[in-house]
Every structure is written in structure tokens, then in C-alpha cells.
Structure 1
Amino acid sequence: MAKLNVNPTRMELSKLNKQLGIATRGHKLLKDKQDELMRQFIVLIKRNRELRMEVEKELEQSFKNFFLASATMAPEMLEESISFPKESISVHLSRKNVMGVHVPVMEMKRKMEGDEGSIYPYGCAQTPSELDDAIAKLNETIPKLLELAEVEKACQLLADEIEKTRRRVNALEYRTIPDLEETIKYIRMKLDESERSTITRLMKVKDIIDR
């Protein structure tokens, strides 16, 4: 705690009392915000962990199938089979507000080219079933992969905001509010001393007049 460098007057006392009230209310609001941010962060962290495990498992299966397909196909045939995809994917990016933090919202849009409903850019007669399985699994995994990117970015932004809020809460709790309280206490003590001195002088003057 440190006393602020102010004049011990009633005007300064009133001013500091108002500042203390504002700081106290601000501290409560920031503490509530910090608690809610932590709650949201924990929910997102759990979802991030679930998604990562699912995505890693599905990608592993897809890569395994692709490896098996590549082992039974000539490299030229494999490259030709996947060179012209039947589907194009775009991502629409927007934002939503979570306790003052603008987190990304990613919306995937698919556009089929050629035969509707077919995700395979080749004829199935000349390709092994493992390649079909690999592409089908990747097709299923892409939405989860996009959601994982969205959740991980939200976690990062919320973590940054939690740290900023924590520093503000600590600054108010351990510096600003104690300094204001110490200064208010000092000013009140000085004003009380001044009032006692004034009363003492008045009493002496009264005694002199009475005599």
C-alpha cells in the first residue's frame, strides 16, 4: 500500500471516496467477468480435447487406408484418380461475442461438381476400396477439423482475455483499492487532527474571554 500524493482536504476526501466506489464496483464486475470467462474456457477446452481425439483417430484411419491404396496402385494412376475433385469447399468466417471477446465462427460450404451426391472423382472399377474408404473418411472428418480450428482459436483468444482480466483484477485488488483506502484514512486522520486543534483553540479563546 502507498499513500497518494494529495492535499488532505474535504474536497479531496469526497473525490477519493467516489474513486474508491468506482474502483470497488469495477473490481466486482471484472471478477464476475473473469469467473464467466473461466467457465466458458473450461467448456471449450473439454470440447477441444474431444474433437482433437476424434479428428486424430479419423485422420489416422484415413491415412492408413490411403497408404494401403497407394501400395496396390501405380503412382501415376493414383495421382490421376485424385487430380480432379468432384467437390469444392469454401469457408465463411464470421465472429460472435463471448464476454467481450470476438471469437471466430467458421461455416463450411460444399459445392458439388458433376454428379450430385458423388464425392469420388474417379470410376470405382479401377480403384481399390481402400481409396474409397480414405476419401469417405476425410469427407466426414473435414467438418470436425474445421470445428477444431474454430474451438482452438476461441480457446486462445479467451486465454488471452482471461490473463488481461486477471491483471486488471489484481491491479485493483492489490494496488488501486488499498492505495485509495490508505489515502482516505490518512486524510480523515489529518482532518480530525485539524478539527481537534480548532476546537482546542476555540476553548482557549473562550477561557480568555471568560476571564
Structure 2
Amino acid sequence: MAATQVNPTRMELTRLKKKLVTATRGHKLLKDKRDELMRQFLDMARENMALREKVEAGIKAANTNFVIAKAGMSEQILHTALMAPKQEVQLTCKDRNVMSVDIPVFEYTTKSADENDIYSYGFAFTSGDLDDAVKSLADILPDMLKLAEIEKSCQLLASEIEKTRRRVNALEHVIIPETKEGIRYISMKLDENERSTQVRLMKVKDMMLEEAHHYKEHQFE
């Protein structure tokens, strides 16, 4: 269908041949990009699964400790102990380029380097279970940030893989076949025109020879 829409000229034939070369090269590059994106995505997906299990186990342990601490302390003392935290966390988001995809890189810093600043309360009226719960959450924080980073990266890579796959399919099943069909159509038309031209030239030649023959006959009469 696309072949009937092209102009059967040598200039158009040259343009389509250049387009075919470009489309073929682009198809190969996009396939290579898609394959590399898939490899990166699968590596991140495996890392994401392991991290998620670790984070969920850490959060479960922290929740268990909080439940035990709440059972051994009054609710007022528990709220007072956690009301004014001493430690602060500052999160910075940077970008890392993976196959033309900007994926996030999370980095964090704490207000204080003292590890004991995660405890915002005195130890006189609180239980050791509360200490364990706070420590569990503090320990799991880096893995939680890494998990968020990897999950967002997986989403971005998956989106880019889908876009690249659509482009590969468009080149492979639409653009390249239509361009080849256009080249075939123009080549056929040009060959047909060339044969027609040769036939006309031969007829003109025969007519000229016949006319010359008649002219000579008239001269000898």
C-alpha cells in the first residue's frame, strides 16, 4: 500500500535507500539498547527482591519490639520518650545515567555522627525493648532508602524498555518493510520505463533507417 504512494524517480529511490540504511542501523542500535536495558532491569529486580525481604524482616522485628515495649510501658511515657527526636536525617537525590535513563541515587546524612543520638529519651523510665525497636528502625533506614532507589529505577527502566520495544517493532515491522517495498516498487517502475524507452528508441531508429532507405531509393530513380 505504501509503495503506491511513492514517486517513482531516481531521486526518490536514492532517498529511500539512504532511509533504509539509517533505519537498519537504528534498528540494530535500539535492539542492543533494549537488550542492555533488560539486563540492567533484571539485575536490579533481583537486588530489589532481596532488599525487600530484608527490609520487611527489619520492619517486622521493629514492630514486634514496639509492641513489647508498649506492653511494658504506659502510653504516656512512650509518647513522651518519642516526642522530641535528637537525630535528624537529610536526604539528597542525585541522578545516574543508565543507557540514557536518569535513575535516582539517594544519599543521606545525619545531623550528628553520634550513634546514641537516635535515642531521644533517657534510659531511666524506658524499657530495653524500646531501645531495640529504635535501633532496629535506625539500622534498616539505609536499606529502606536503597530499596526506594532501586524500585524507582526499576519503574523508569521498565518504561524505557517498553518505549524502546515499540520503536524496535515499528522499525522491524513497519518502516523497514515499507521502505524495502518502496525501493522494489520504484526499481520495477524505473526498469519498466527504461525498457519502454529502449523500445521507443528502437522504433525511432527503425523508422529513421526506413526513411533513409526510401530517400536513397528516390535518389536513384
| TM-score bucket (shorter structure) | over 0.9
The Cα shift of 1:4 comes to 5.7
Alpha-carbon distance between aligned partners in 2 of 1:23 and 1:15, rounded to the nearest angstrom: 12
Shift of the alpha carbon at 1:104? 0.8
User: How far, CA to CA, are the matches of 1:65 and 1:4 in structure 2?
Assistant: 75
Name the residue aligned to 1:173.
Answer: 172
Paired residue type of 1:128: S
What is the identity, as a one-letter code, of the residue corresponding to 1:112?
A: S
Give 2:138's aligned residue. Answer: 139
CA RMSD in angstroms comes to 1.3
Offset of residue 112 of structure 1:
2.2
Paired residues in the alignment total 209
On the 8 A contact 1:85/1:121 being kept in 2, the answer is yes
How far off its partner does 1:46 sit? 0.5
Tell me what 1:93 maps to. Answer: 93
Q: Per-residue deviation at 1:57?
A: 0.4
Match of 1:199 in 2: 198
In structure 2, the partner of 1:117 is 115
1:209 correspondence with 2:221: no
Give a deviation string over 1:153-186, Cα, whole Å, max 9, x none: 0000111111111111111110011111001100
- Give the number of the structure whose alpha-carbon radius of gyration is greater: 2
The answer to whether the 8 A contact 1:4-1:179 is kept is no
Which residue in 2 is equivalent to 1:65?
A: 65
**Offset of 1:204 from its aligned partner?**
2.1
Letter in 2 for 1:153: K
Residue identity in the other structure for 1:52: R
User: TM-score if structure 2 supplies the norm length?
Assistant: 0.91
Q: 1:82 corresponds to which residue? A: 82
Q: Which residue matches 2:189?
A: 190
Partner of 1:151: 150
Structure 2 spans left out of the alignment, 5+ residues:
211-221
For residues 4 and 109 of structure 1, what CA distance do their matches in structure 2 show? 65
1:10 partnered with 2:27 = no
**Structure 1: stretches of 5+ with no match in the other structure:** none
